[in-house]
Amino acid sequence: MHRVLTFAAVALPMLPMPGQAMKSPGSIAISPQYHRISLDESGKAYAYQLVNYGAEKVELEVSSMHWTMNENNRMVPVGEDSEEIAIDQWMVVNPVELEIPPGETRVVRFSFFPPEPLPPGEYRSAMVFSQKLPAADALPSGEGLVLRTRLTLKSAIYATVGEVIRRGELKEVVVTTEELRLRIRNTGTAHVRPRGEFIIRKQRGSPLQQGPLVGKPVLPGQERWISIDHGELSPGTYLLTLAGRLGDRDLEWQSSFELKAP
């Protein structure tokens, strides 16, 4: 699966889009969306592939980041007072700047070189792709304010050492007229995500809504709400079924719920 970034001419937004790229000055597809690697073998090379589907060249800068998930399920830098080991300090990236002409592909490679063996567990880094800001003389002239915003896309890198435990607990399920909300607690040593399928039906009826269980990662020691769109439902009584995996364990849940008119 590819993650597509689109760039506008002045504000320079960099947004992931499902499916095909939008018609904009630059559209970049990046694969894979994230990496899960092992640090048991130091120095092994990994790569991202970037394809420019747009009509103009795109210039990018590449960097790395030690990150965590905040309470809004957003990827943010880890604070300086954190005791977590930041593996991005041992990360080698090549190249750190690149230009991708229309219709062409470029590869960004990376490796980790820890100076000594790390304790077993999961470590996190992220590859950060940022579009270069245009030079001041390349911006539109005339009266008015020109907004120059540097936005980025971050792709997670999960690196493990030795054996890890992927164990999540489904603590609560809430269904609204538009979304399914799962409260998940991670009691393991590596991130977990719900995988599988949900089905919503009338009692003893055929499915009305169904789709994949997808969501943001829940990191070790965290408890988070994961939201999944299920389509609109009218007021009534329904039966919800969840089936799949949460970490290394099977995920099975079935319960009835009632949606009331506003």
pLDDT in tens, 128-150: 999 887 665 555 555 554 455 55
The number of distinct structural domains making up the chain is 2
78 contacts: CB under 8 Å, gap ≥ 6: 66, 67, 68, 84, 86
**Residue 28 sits in the same domain as residue 123:** yes
**Residue 129 sits in the same domain as residue 245:** no
**Residue 156 sits in the same domain as residue 112:** yes
**Residue 157 sits in the same domain as residue 172:** no
Rg of the chain, C-alpha, whole Å = 22
Residue 82: which domain range? 3-161
Average pLDDT over residues 96-113: 95
Last residue of a domain, one of 123, 140, 161: 161
Tokens linked to 76: 């943010």
Average pLDDT over residues 43-69: 92
Model pLDDT, residue 150: 58
**Residue 68 sits in the same domain as residue 151:** yes
**Residue 147 sits in the same domain as residue 34:** yes
**Residue 137 sits in the same domain as residue 27:** yes
Tokens linked to 177: 């007229």
First to last CA, the chain: 39
pLDDT in tens, 192-223: 999 999 999 987 778 899 999 988 999 999 99
Model pLDDT, residue 8: 35
Q: Which residues pair with 111 in a beta bridge?
A: 92
Last residue of a domain, one of 112, 144, 161: 161
Place of tokens 């099975």: 252
Average pLDDT over residues 238-256: 95
Last residue of a domain, one of 134, 161, 188: 161
Average pLDDT over residues 28-32: 89
Average pLDDT over residues 181-197: 96
SS3 content of the chain, % helix, strand, coil (to 5): 5, 55, 45
**Residue 128 sits in the same domain as residue 235:** no
Please report, for the domain that includes residue 239, its CATH number.
2.60.40.10
Query: Does residue 96 carry a pLDDT above 80?
Result: yes
**Residue 56 sits in the same domain as residue 137:** yes
Average pLDDT over residues 14-24: 33
Which of 101, 150, 106 has the alpha carbon at shortest distance from 128? 150
Eight-class DSSP state of 72: T
Model pLDDT, residue 221: 95
Model pLDDT, residue 2: 42
Average pLDDT over residues 28-49: 93
**Residue 140 sits in the same domain as residue 114:** yes
207-213 and 168-175 as β-strands: parallel, antiparallel, unpaired?
unpaired
